[in-house]
């Protein structure tokens, strides 16, 4: 008696589907475990009432305290003491910081105001960071609330991370300290003067993220000094502080 032939093609097709499903499940499982491991590693950098500034645990982070937060006019330039700046006098309009990746350098005075609201600003030297390295930074910023990325020509390190009063400079976009810094300081209620204020620009007449105010690398002679006092050769009064020059509906 001749036996029936086995449906080898069906069996082979089923095996292929099963192997593919196992591969997909395994890949998802590995990614999930990696995410859990990453979250667990960053848990120590989550701010709390008992650990208000976890960035103090991160090697290389520098701090600048008691920075004035006065407003300056759109035509003023501030003589910051850090480059990029980490706080101080700033434009009355903040730069959009809703996970925006700027492809051109942005005026520091606007980004400093964003940091006052709780944003983290990642700056990079476009001469040293591009291609895959830039992609790694972009992935950390794209569509992430209270985050902005922009080129900053002439940096003394390839990458510089800023929040209000804190800075970390480094060379490697894969450095784990980047994620630690963001976890510890972005929207940290204990380290930002106006944490939680909006990161959305109030309109292109205030700040246009598609055509932002141009970056200026060095302050002119008549720059606004730190901490917010105008240069001696200017006769106009200092710009009011945040409380006196609040933007409608934001408290900043």
Domain extent at residue 41: 9-45
State how many domains the chain has.
Answer: 2
Burial 232-246 (b: 16+ CB within 10 A, else e): eeeeeebbeebeeeb
Q: Is residue 144 domain-shared with residue 240, that is, in the same domain?
A: yes
Q: Is residue 28 domain-shared with residue 143, that is, in the same domain?
A: no
Q: Write the pLDDT tens digit of every residue in 46-77.
A: 999 999 999 999 999 999 987 888 899 998 99
CA 155, 87, 147, 75 dihedral sign is negative
Burial class (CB in 10 A: 0-12, 13-18, 19+), 166: buried
Q: Is residue 57 domain-shared with residue 108, that is, in the same domain?
A: yes
Q: Is residue 14 domain-shared with residue 80, that is, in the same domain?
A: no
CA 77, 79, 82, 83 dihedral sign is positive
Q: Write the pLDDT tens digit of every residue in 198-229.
A: 999 888 889 999 999 999 887 777 777 664 43
Q: Is residue 37 domain-shared with residue 62, that is, in the same domain?
A: no
Spatial distance between the Cα atoms of 38 and 34, rounded to a whole number of angstroms: 6
pTM: 0.75
């Amino acid at each position: 008696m001749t036996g029936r032939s086995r449906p080898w093609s069906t069996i082979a097709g089923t095996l292929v589907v099963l192997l593919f499903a196992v591969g997909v499940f395994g890949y998802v499982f590995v990614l999930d475990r990696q995410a859990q491991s990453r979250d667990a590693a960053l848990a120590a950098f989550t701010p709390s009432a008992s650990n208000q500034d976890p960035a103090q645990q991160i090697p290389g982070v520098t701090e600048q305290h008691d920075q004035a937060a006065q407003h300056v006019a759109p035509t003023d330039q501030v003589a910051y003491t850090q480059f990029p700046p980490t706080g101080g006098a700033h434009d009355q309009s903040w730069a959009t910081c809703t996970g925006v990746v700027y492809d051109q350098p942005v005026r520091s005075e606007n980004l400093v105001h964003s940091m006052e609201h709780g944003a983290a600003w990642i700056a990079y030297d476009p001469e040293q960071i591009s291609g895959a390295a830039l992609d790694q930074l972009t992935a950390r910023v794209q569509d992430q609330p209270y985050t902005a990325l922009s080129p900053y020509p002439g940096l003394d390190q390839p990458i510089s991370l800023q929040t209000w009063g804190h800075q970390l400079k480094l060379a490697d976009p894969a450095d784990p300290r980047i994620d630690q810094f963001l976890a510890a300081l972005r929207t940290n209620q204990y380290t930002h003067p106006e944490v939680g204020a909006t990161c959305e620009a109030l309109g292109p007449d205030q700040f246009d993220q598609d055509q932002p105010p141009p970056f200026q690398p060095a302050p002119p002679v008549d720059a606004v000094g730190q901490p917010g006092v105008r240069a001696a050769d200017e006769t106009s009064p200092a710009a009011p502080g945040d409380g006196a020059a609040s933007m409608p509906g934001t408290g900043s």
